[in-house]
Structure 1
């Protein structure tokens, strides 16, 4: 069930744990006490708290910037269990927007939401050994209940195939029970890695996992692609994040899958690809293991004869809270978060200005009433708005505070604005200020928010496009990676060749020039893009000079999270 999104090994191969590159180790360090201390405002002379903003640049120390941004931006807080985090309202609201968006689309496809237990019996988990081998090192086990040891230990679900498919074998008795389409929004636990990275890779995370059963491969294949389109739409239409749709190579596909489709993102700050979501056709593998069969309705038989039983075709697909981390890494800047308007808990904050020690109580109340009137107009236009009436904080403090939290649009209003019949606006994604007439607020602010959304997507999309490089010769492969690119190469589609490319691009090969500032990890295949740059001509050699095979297709390789 889309396990590789959160770091499970593809194809169920345990292998040796890869040595983490230095930059990943740094990115994964959790510093809860330091962050909590940094978040506490210190008092200035005169009583106003001093805002402790982001104290490092994104370009200079991405891991430290990321830690500070998510904590000081009120997106996440650390718990006393490493790798398990508190989702604050700002980030959890994004997850709710994603749920609403996705639920509306899958319900039109006939998918129904459900819920299966958190615990899976060991016997059930082991029914499909090839599948579970990919998760074996990550499974958390419950061995005691209260003060008693359990006779049989229970697994905390790392994924739900084995939990759900026993039910499917009971539920599906006839071809008339097909298709069966179920989805659940839940949490899962993976307990292998030592250095979690909030949102991107954590021991407990939130996701949805859809599991469906179909009569034919064709029906299953149509759904796989529908879901992939919905995943791409979440990223591009909600999170303003560009993705590349494609198919995983055999080396990288989900354990036990017939094939895996994927959407792949890109993190400009480190030049790495990142798997964003996956939709799998599981084929008939699990149907065989769990005896999910029906009589063939298309078989012609004589009267009194029974039709042959055939295995159903199954799909699974998953989307996780990793998406929030991807959004943060792509859009955030040195001031903190930048949240796309469509998923912002607060789209607009209104800050009263021009209030000082000489302002009378009556004038202050009048100004605050006008600010509230502006808020009411915007709420009437379905804008999510908040007024900042905090006493003891200067407008400058408030501006910086809301900037750090990524609110898409700030509006300031004071006596001068009133005199001019306008409000003054500041976009979070751009420098500079502008004005909007008070009479036009209800129409112009929603338009401006949509423009911010579009501009954020275009900026990220242009950057991703500029860092997808077509490479035709091996000598250019590693230099392109070092320049923070993902690369499109003509490849033979052999798994052994992929492994060799990963090794030879890691900087461990004698005589190979690798930028010392680049991570030492090698490049793996990210996907076979749906949109191929051009046709691969007959006789074209695979990009790997050690490979003796012809290239079959363009494959996107890159260093990856």
Structure 2
């Protein structure tokens, strides 16, 4: 049997955040390192979390008229050259296929870092008239980008799971509405399912997606004070439709270039969930996305008690499964209850139900909440009616705690002399900015912080730019990112 030092978290989240994160990923059995540097293997619990996110998003996207498609992994270099300025931003990260067996191929093939060029070369064939619009396709893909220096599971890996949507519209107005609608879907998913609050708005021109007219984003802060981009939605305008000839005949039989959007989130959301909610005991999962929402631990020390305790555990399991909940009964006789408690806390199961002989005598179970480690008694006849409410309370309390962290770590400044000291404390900084890229670049150069988001509604600032002192154009959020 493994001892506690081998299976438990051995560092404090506050004292060594990076090592703590890595240990949680590995020891909570979410992922492991692959034989190739920069790649990870997703284990069943990690994949189950991704499946929950995917299922939730997929349902919302289909309700809004989006359909799923599939794209191949290889893109010919000659095709990528049709939008050189866009692809230049990815070129340093591209993996290239140069041989088929021992034979050198003519046109190099890129392992897809993103799919704009591939999708739009096909869209130009599929779209002929206004009747073909809007075209709204989502792809559940992997992408490959060479991250081999500063890798971190779920946050920076050379291959990652994501979804990327690519839509085509007849009008600018319709395309821009799509951008905001998708961002709102993302926000509701992250806040309601992952219990992580986000700040939504636009990226600066310097930070926007290469090839976009503008990029909208949702940002959050992690417990180590760094910013994490949780998802983006881009208005591409006609920047891709023109080089790729994505055109249509309108109702007056006049040919027009289409208007386009693209958007995506990745398994980075799993990394955010680990960081925001985890503690020194390990993973803490929101009930909505937990692979196992409830673990039942039967407790007995004699054969006489074993039969009746296990019988009750099975009964409770059937009841909860009938409610649509994900339940597991830990029937491993070779392990002590205490060992089981520690293991399930490490793996982040939101709710633990303990059933022993004394509980049977008192017609109740003991319920332990993972997020705050509080225990309470629950009568047998209340299990079916109250467990769902308890899980929702856990979900709500986790969001409230995360929102408090975001609020507490966001400071408003007008004095640049305080900028760097507040960053060192692990804060987001909200401050007026004049809109000049020079000030943005100087701040980045001097502090390693960039503009994470220009929040919606923060435009027309009445303050003075925190760097140059000129009239501000918006109150923006600065932060250091992964």
Q: Same fold (TM over 0.5)?
A: yes
1:559 matches 2:462 = no
1-structure distance, mates of 2:423, 2:18: 20
Q: How does 1:158-557 map to 2 (within 5 A)?
A: 158-268=113-223, 270-297=224-251, 307=254, 309-353=255-299, 355-356=300-301, 359-360=302-303, 362-505=304-447, 522-532=448-458, 536-537=461-462, 540-544=463-467, 547=468, 549-557=470-478
Q: Give the deviation of 1:50 after TM superposition.
A: 7.8
Instruction: Decide whether the 8 Å contact of 1:137 with 1:192 is kept in 2.
Output: no
8 Å contact 2:460–2:473 — kept in the other structure? no
C-alpha separation in 2, matches of 1:68 and 1:474: 37
Task: Find the structure with the greater CA-based Rg.
Answer: 1
How many Å separate the matches in 1 of 2:305 and 2:422? 61
CA contact 2:147–2:157 (8 Å) conserved in 1: no
Query: Deviation string for 1:231-255 (max 9, x for gaps)?
Result: 1112101110110000001000000
Quick one: distance in 1 between partners of 2:333 and 2:5? Answer: 14
Q: Is the 8 A contact 1:293 1:311 kept in 2?
A: yes
Whether the 8 Å CA contact 1:381–1:443 is kept in 2: the answer is no
Distance 2:187 2:400 in 1: 15
CA distance in 1, matches of 2:356, 2:161: 43
Corresponding residue of 2:2: 42
Shift of 1:131: 0.3
CA distance in 1, matches of 2:101, 2:348: 44
Question: Would you say how many aligned residue pairs link Structure 1 and Structure 2?
Answer: 482
Alpha-carbon contact 1:51-1:397 (below 8 Å) kept: no
Q: Give the SS at the match of 1:56.
A: coil
Residue pair 2:38, 2:148 contacting (<8 A) in 1 also: no
SS at match of 1:117: coil
User: 1:208-263 CA deviation, whole Å, 9 max, x = no partner?
Assistant: 00000001110001110010001111210111011000000100000010110000
In structure 2, what is the equivalent of residue 36 of structure 1?
Answer: none
Q: Work out the CA distance in 2 between the residues paired with 1:377 and 1:385.
A: 10
**2:147–2:156 Cα contact (<8 Å) kept:** no
1:107 paired residue number: 62
The answer to whether the Cα contact below 8 Å between 2:414 and 2:464 also exists between their aligned partners in 1 is no
Other-structure match for 1:123: 78
Name the TM-score, length of structure 1 as normaliser: 0.84
Q: Which segments of 5 or more consecutive residues in structure 2 lack a partner in the other structure? A: none
> Partners of 1:411 and 1:476 in 2: how far apart?
49
Counterpart CA distance in 1 for 2:147 and 2:53 is 28
Aligned-pair CA distance for 1:273: 1.3
Aligned to 1:98: 53
Question: Which structure 1 residue ranges, 4+ long, deviate > 3 Å from structure 2?
Answer: none
RMSD of the alignment, in Å? 1.5
Change in Cα spacing, 1:136 to 1:487, as seen in structure 2 (3 Å) is same
What SS class does the counterpart of residue 343 from structure 1 fall into? Answer: coil
The residue matched to 1:251 in structure 2 has which SS?
coil
Task: Answer yes or no: is the 8 Å Cα contact 2:127–2:247 preserved in 1.
Answer: yes
1:136 maps to 2:62? no
**CA–CA distance in structure 1, aligned partners of residues 181 and 233 of structure 2:** 9
Q: Which range moved further: 492-501 or 420-429?
A: 492-501
Native 8 Å contact 1:380 1:442 kept in 2:
no
Q: Is the 8 A contact 1:215 1:313 kept in 2?
A: yes
Q: How many angstroms does 1:548 deviate by?
A: 6.1
